[in-house]
Amino acid sequence: MNPATALATVLIDELVRCGLTDVVLAPGSRSAPLAMALHAESRVRLHVRIDERSASFLALGLARRSERPVALICSSGTAAANFHPAVIEAAESGVPLLVLTADRPPELRGTGANQTIDQLKLYGAAARWFAEVGVPEDRPGQVAYWRSLACRAYQRAAGPYDPGPVHLNLAFRDPLVPDGDPSWCEPLEGAAGGPWVRARVAPPPVALHLPPTRRGVLVVGDGAANVRRYVAAAGMAGWPVLSEPNGGGRYGDHAISTYHHLLGTPEFAGAYRPDVVVTLGRPGLSKPLLAWLRQAGEHIVVAPGLDRWPDPTRSATQVAQAVEIPVAAGDDSWLNAWRQADRAARGAVDEVLGLSGTSEPRIARDLADALPNGSLLFCGSSMPIRDLDQAMRPRRGLRLMANRGASGIDGLVSTAMGAALAHNGPSYALMGDLSFLHDQNGLVLGPREPRPDLCLVVVNNDGGGIFSLLPQAAVRDPFERVFGTPHGVDLGYVAAATGTPYTLVGDVSELPKALRGEGPRVVEVRTDREENALVHARLTEAAQQAVRAFLAG
């Protein structure tokens, strides 16, 4: 057996023993040993994509939804560079990726050899751990090295307290394909009954015990862990819960779905300052919420690992791996006031949306309402997730996800595809036209590839709608070209190019019917950017008037 085949066979086998179930492969020559080993491995689900960027975001979606490492493999050169945006997103959002980049051997580096670049620590600080595996050699001791290395890489990616991307760079010399000789200088087999190295997970951290208070608030952002436990504790303590849609805590009697509008009303934000705020995950959708957090007297951030914690407002007074929220005696006047203000703002929001026609916030609200229990909804990182944050009602039975680590618009079709492939139930995605076009290669699926049950709802306002809500919109002369960026693309033709079923929705009332179907499919809803800006302005004005009326009582 040649060394390249031996390394690839042993590495893939050991990763499977550690728990690997999904691998995404972008085809290439130098990665042939890994590709051949994967094709022969029946214990993993293999996904092949011709575009490395789409492949990497597919792996990101698979790992994000399954919450376990997914391997991502490519050839050498710029193929590996195309993984970088997904690696950054995985690093910022704590998604476990195993990035295996094939490489030329050291003697070819720096010589002008074909498809040869410097791949050592290619992803910089975005990788939780990097290893240059070294060119495999036919000598004793290699198998123990390869298997222990695979275990270390898998466990470092998995966490549990700081999951993220791990990068293994694998230099292969020719020959790259099996030579038909099964012999090797030592046994290739792994340990009996499991991985070569068994990692022991650390015991749960000791929780920080808070003093009892009825005037607390729980804030839930993207990537929050143990959400149900904290929401239940907040309910027992009489605290309102301010959860972003992708935080997973917008359900139940304590959920305040209009917090963006409440805290955007200065009179309310000033009058309802809590004794303590506990934050889970990474809040970042609502500027009024972030401004309010800056004024918090006691702000406790819950972070699984204390080597990094989210605190964009620099307002944290304590950081803990776990917090115990105690039941406190007293009346519910604090919680009831939040609820009453929320009802007032919710009534105003729904009234404006009811008169807004096929507006973008209404599409977001109605889509979240219409999806069946057990569904996954993947949201675009720009306006769609913000529309959900400002318009979505509380509900159970819906899992929401978004790439909010670095909040880029790239790779969203592929990330949604990956998440849908890992989800046990129907899946949907809500994204803008620029995000859809940015990753239209995500629709390219080979005839033998696993196909998700995913409906992509694309809100098409012919450009970058979020910029119409920013100060740039006031600079009329250059705005349309350099910010609005109209494209004039017919999305129906984009879908037709890949044979993806396509439906154009003319009115928001047609949306529930258009969502029906199976497999990958596209539903387009066309909107107007300038009208969308007006709807958002009316929402803010109406909600703040309702909140002020509540305060005037």
Give the whole-angstrom CA distance, residue 422 versus residue 424: 7
Q: Alpha-carbon torsion 354, 360, 363, 367, what sign?
A: negative
- Select from 14, 326, 241 the least CA-distant residue to 150: 14
In one-letter notation, the amino acid at residue 318 is Q
Q: Are residues 402 and 485 in the same domain?
A: yes
Residue 61 within any structural domain of the chain? yes
Which tokens hold the place of 326?
A: 């105690």
Q: Are residues 328 and 265 in the same domain?
A: yes
Q: Are residues 284 and 370 in the same domain?
A: no
pLDDT digits (tens, 9 = 90+) for 516-546: 999 999 999 999 988 999 999 999 999 999 9
Beta strands in 403-453 (DSSP E): 427-432
- Give the DSSP per-residue string, 179-244: -S----SS-----TTS-SS-PPPPPPPPPEEPPP-SSEEEEE-BT-SSHHHHHHHHHHHT--EEE-
User: Do 23 and 70 form a contact (C-beta atoms < 8 A)?
Assistant: yes
pLDDT digits (tens, 9 = 90+) for 16-61: 999 999 999 999 999 999 999 999 999 999 999 999 999 999 999 9
Q: What pLDDT score was predicted for residue 468?
A: 67
Give the residues across from 168 on adjacent strands: 100, 131
Q: Are residues 375 and 512 in the same domain?
A: yes
Q: Are residues 418 and 318 in the same domain?
A: no
Structural domain harbouring 34: 3-171
Last residue of a domain, one of 124, 151, 171: 171
Which tokens hold the place of 202?
A: 């650390």
Residue 112 within any structural domain of the chain? yes
Q: Are residues 18 and 151 in the same domain?
A: yes
Give me the CATH number covering residue 299: 3.40.50.1220
Which tokens hold the place of 482?
A: 């350099």
Instruction: Tokens 């993947």: give the residue.
Output: 378
Q: Alpha-carbon torsion 490, 493, 498, 500, what sign?
A: positive
Residue 251 within any structural domain of the chain? yes
The residues of the chain scoring below 50 in pLDDT are none
Q: What pLDDT score was predicted for residue 540?
A: 97
Q: Are residues 367 and 278 in the same domain?
A: no
Last residue of a domain, one of 113, 141, 171: 171
Residue 190 within any structural domain of the chain? no
Q: Are residues 320 and 366 in the same domain?
A: no
- Give the DSSP per-residue string, 269-330: HHH---SEEEEESB--S-HHHHHHHHT-SSEEEE-S-TT----TTS--SEEES-EE-----S
In one-letter notation, the amino acid at residue 383 is M
Q: Are residues 306 and 394 in the same domain?
A: no
Residue 532 within any structural domain of the chain? no
Overall residue count recorded for the chain in this entry: 553
pLDDT digits (tens, 9 = 90+) for 464-478: 767 767 777 677 677
Q: Are residues 228 and 288 in the same domain?
A: yes
Give the whole-angstrom CA distance, residue 485 versus residue 266: 34
Residue 314 within any structural domain of the chain? yes
Q: Are residues 55 and 163 in the same domain?
A: yes
Last residue of a domain, one of 317, 332, 347: 332
Residue 508 within any structural domain of the chain? yes
Q: Are residues 424 and 294 in the same domain?
A: no
Q: What pLDDT score was predicted for residue 500?
A: 98
Give me the CATH number covering residue 488: 3.40.50.970
As for how many domains the chain has, the answer is 3
Residue 278 within any structural domain of the chain? yes
